[in-house]
Amino acid sequence: QVQLVESGGGLVQAGGSLRLSCVASTRSFSVYNMGWFRQAPGKEREFVAAIRWNGDSTTYADSVKGRCTISRDNVKNTVYLQMNSLKPEDTANYLCAADVRFSTLRTTTQGYDYWGQGTQVTVSS
C-alpha cells in the first residue's frame, strides 16, 4: 500500500503564505498523477490542484487559481502546494492523493486510490 504523509500546515494570517509537502513511500511515485484536496468542518472534500506524473501539466480549482502552485520532485518522491495570499476561507485540512492509473488529471475525489491523513491550514482574519 502507498503511504502519503503531508506536512507544512499551520496558522497564518490572511495574506500570508504556506508551502505544503507530501512525501510518498512508493518508488512508483514518478508515474502517478497527484492531487491536493481540502476539507473543512461540515463540508465535503473539495479539489484544489493536480499535477501530471511528469510535472508537465497542472490544473487548479477556480477558488485557488492565481494563488496556488502545485509542483513535484520525483527524485524526492514529493509533491508540493505553494499557497499565497491566503484567505480565511482557505482554512481546512489539506490532503494529498495519488492516482495510480494512467489517466487525464482528475478534479474530483473519484479515481484517486491513496490518501494521506492531511495537514491543517488555519488562516486568521
pLDDT digits (tens, 9 = 90+) for 1-24: 899 999 999 999 999 999 999 999
Task: Supply the pLDDT for residue 94.
Answer: 98
Query: 98-117: buried (b, 16+ CB within 10 Å) or exposed (e) per residue?
Result: bbeeeeebbbebebbebbbe
User: Cβ(39)–Cβ(105) under 8 Å?
Assistant: no
Task: Supply the pLDDT for residue 26.
Answer: 85
Q: What is the CA radius of gyration of the chain?
A: 13
Indicate the SS3 state at residue 119. strand
What percent of the chain lies above the pLDDT cut of 70?
100
| pLDDT per residue as tens digits for the range 21-66 | 999 998 889 999 999 999 999 999 999 999 999 999 999 999 999 9
- Angle, vertex CA 90, rays to CA 81 and CA 98, nearest 5: 40
